[in-house]
Amino acid sequence: MALLLGHAAATVAALFCIIYFFHRRLSCRYPLLTDYPILGMLPEVLCNLWRIHDFATEVLKQKGGTGDFTGPWFTNMNYLFTSDPLNVRHVMSTSFHNYVKGPVFRDIFEAFGEGLAAADSEAWKYNRDLIHYLLKQKNFEGFLEKTVHKKVQSSLLPVLDHVHQQGSVVDLQDLFNRFTFDNICYIVLGHDPNCLSVDFPEVEIEKAFNEAGETIFHRHVVPKCVWKLQKWLHIGQEKKMTEACKTLDEFIYACIASKRKNLSKCIEKNETEETSDVDLLTTLMREGKEKGEEYDDIFLRDTVFNFFVAGRDAVTSALTWFFWLVATNPLVEAKILEEMKEKIGSNEKAMDVLSVEEVKKLVYLHGAICESLRLFPPIPFERKEALKSDLLPSGHGVNPSTVILFFLYSMGRSEEIWGEDCMEFKPERWISEKGGIVYVPSYKFVAFNTGPRTCLGKDVSFIQIKMVATAILHKYRLQVVEGYVAKPNLSIVLLIKDGLKVTIKKREM
């Protein structure tokens, strides 16, 4: 009897597996990779994880730009991958209200809290309107310019001078990480931690941001049950995430408490006059008090964290890849320098750190930055979840709760979008015959997102990148260490694995 029951159970199990196998085959109509029994398509991803961005680009090209990915059985790790700009426009603009970040996104990106990057619906609209208001304050651009100018003049250039005098190799990415961290701390919190100094101090909070980003990427390539178990056991990558979030929260909440205390003192003394040098957190807290809806610590913490990721990580990535490309393309470097000389002049003192109005004149530099962002977008992929069934322009059907991953890195390498020379670094593709900037629809050039979620800090980012780029290029020639090849890291922000090692040479005037 027991033997018969055992055979029956085995038969039922086998039948169930066969039915489930064929169900997956039917539901996965456009497979990107080989769908192995039980393991799904995950094995090929894990085997190519070290080059995942280029691997995804190759696969999407072979499959016409869009296809299905299915993870291990019963993990619900199923995605629709796409690099088709028409699909991007449909999801991010045309049918915007049918596609959300969703609860799964917020679970994976838990460090972002309920801030702008993770919010949906009314919460997203409220956060976006508030941040738009903060960035459009009449004094903000002047405050930004003054902050960047001071940090370049008092820290960045002296550190580069020191490195030059020592004749040593420097990790330019680490240097930019420190620069942007100091900048964003001052812009958001009114506090400069002085990470960028000649002794290169180790700053725990700065390291925590990097580890949080790496863990979020890790959560995209392993089943949820695995990383949830790691989190529960407090092991592996999730242990780093827990410790990083603790460090980040302690730092941000301490800053919020200090701001509340200072603001209360100002109110008691009737010191309410506005100045041009007011950080975003202070402005936000004042705005809350004036509206009679004082923001709680959690809301402020989430807003500050989102500011940090947008204002630090993205700018660091953009600067690092820009200098990698310029250092390995001397003709582009020569043209940037020629434009600076032609439109700004060659006065040594005047050229140290350019103003906002001066950098806006540099069209070729703008093209070079756009070209760098095309090839190496700071956020290499974007994800959305469908609320209702839909049909994409590519002809692919979407079911409710389907997660769509847009590969921005792959889009920058698409011949259909950019032509046969898409792998070349050509700032000229951004410049018209009349010498102006060529307009490219944001659903094709998605470095700053597209549609209603277009990045509010786009102009702020360009200002910082241009001010830093011109200050460095005017005084120094950067030479990449011989034999070094830049490779993308594995994180939600596209940085260079192991940094960008360069030597510094004084430019002959």
363: confidence class by pLDDT, cuts 50, 70, 90: very high
Looking at residue 385, what is its pLDDT?
93
Quick one: pLDDT at residue 349? Answer: 53
Using the predicted structure, report yes or no on whether residue 372 has a pLDDT greater than 60: yes
In a domain, 218, yes or no: yes
- pLDDT tens sequence across 402-452: 899 999 999 999 999 999 999 999 999 999 988 899 999 999 999 999 999
User: Per the domain annotation, does 1 fall within a domain?
Assistant: no
Distance (Å, whole) CA 197 – CA 159: 6
Residue 183, phi then psi, degrees to nearest 5: -60, -50
% of the chain beyond a pLDDT of 90: 52
For 18-34, write each residue's pLDDT tens digit: 444 444 444 557 788 78
Is 18 part of a structural domain of the chain?
A: no
Position with higher pLDDT, 17 vs 145 = 145
pLDDT of res. 290: 76
Does the residue 15 lie in any domain?
A: no
What pLDDT, in 10s, does the model give residues 350-361? Answer: 567 888 899 999
Comparing 159-163, 185-189, 261-265, 498-502, which segment has the lowest mean pLDDT? 261-265
Residues 207, 200 contacting (CB under 8 angstroms): no
Percent residues over pLDDT 70 in the chain: 91
Calpha distance 38→24 (Å, rounded): 11
Q: Is residue 239 part of a domain?
A: yes
CATH number reported for the structural domain that contains residue 133 in this entry = 1.10.630.10
> How do residues 81-121 score in pLDDT, each as one tens digit?
999 999 999 999 999 999 999 988 899 888 888 888 889 98
**Confidence band (pLDDT; 50, 70, 90) for 346?**
low
| Residue 17, pLDDT above cutoff 60 | no
Q: What is the pLDDT of residue 350?
A: 52
pLDDT per position as a tens digit, 472-505: 999 999 999 988 888 998 888 899 998 999 999 9
Average pLDDT, integer, range 299-325: 91
Across the range 296-310, mean pLDDT stands at 89
DSSP 205-272: HHHHHHHHHHHHHHHHHS-HHHHHHHHHHT-HHHHHHHHHHHHHHHHHHHHHHHHHHHHHHHHHTT--
Rounded Cα distance, 114 and 120, in Å: 9
pTM (2 d.p.): 0.88
- pLDDT value at residue 361: 92
Amino acid identity for residue 411 in this structure: M
Give me the mean pLDDT over the 62-88 stretch. Answer: 89
What SS3 class is residue 350?
A: coil
User: Which range among 189-198, 383-392, 403-412 shows the weakest confidence by mean pLDDT?
Assistant: 189-198
For 379-497, where are the E strands, in sequence order? 381-386, 390-391, 397-398, 403-407, 476-480
> Dmax over Cα atoms in the chain, in whole Å?
97
CA 69 to chain centre: 23
Most confident of 105-119, 170-184, 203-217: 170-184
- Read off the pLDDT of each residue in 166-184 and give the average, rounded to a whole number: 92
Task: List b or e across 413-444, with b for residues whose CB sees 16 or more CB atoms inside 10 angstroms.
Answer: bbeebbeeebeebbbebbbeeeeeeeeeebbb
Is 348 part of any domain?
A: yes
Residue 63: domain span = 31-69+76-506
pLDDT at res. 23: 42
- Say which residue the tokens 């004036």 belong to: 290
Give the residue-averaged pLDDT of 226-237: 91
The runs of H, that is alpha helices, within 50-171 are 52-62, 85-89, 102-108, 121-135, 140-151, 157-166
Which tokens belong to 201? 């101090």
**What is the overall mean pLDDT for the chain?**
87
DSSP structure string for 481-505:
PTT----B-SSSS--BTT--EEEEE
| Residues contacting residue 8 through CB under 8 Å, at least 6 positions apart | none
* Dist CA 131 CA 284 (whole Å): 9
Give me the residues paired with residue 390 across strands: 398
What does residue 489 show for φ and ψ, rounded to 5 degrees?
-85, 180
Give the integer Cα–Cα distance in Å for 117 and 408: 17
Neighbours of 229 (CB within 10 A): 13
- Whether the CB-CB separation of 369 and 318 falls below 8 Å is answered with yes
Residue 332 predicted with pLDDT over 90: yes
Closest CA to 201 of 155, 241, 161: 155
Q: Structural domain tally of the chain?
A: 1
Q: Is residue 104 part of a domain?
A: yes
The residues, ordered by sequence, that sit 6+ positions from 387 with a Cβ below 8 Å of its Cβ are 97, 98, 99, 100, 400
**Is 195 labelled as part of a ligand binding site?**
no
DSSP string, 55-83: HHHHHHHHTTTEEEEE-STTS--EEEEE-
**Is residue 17 situated within a structural domain?**
no
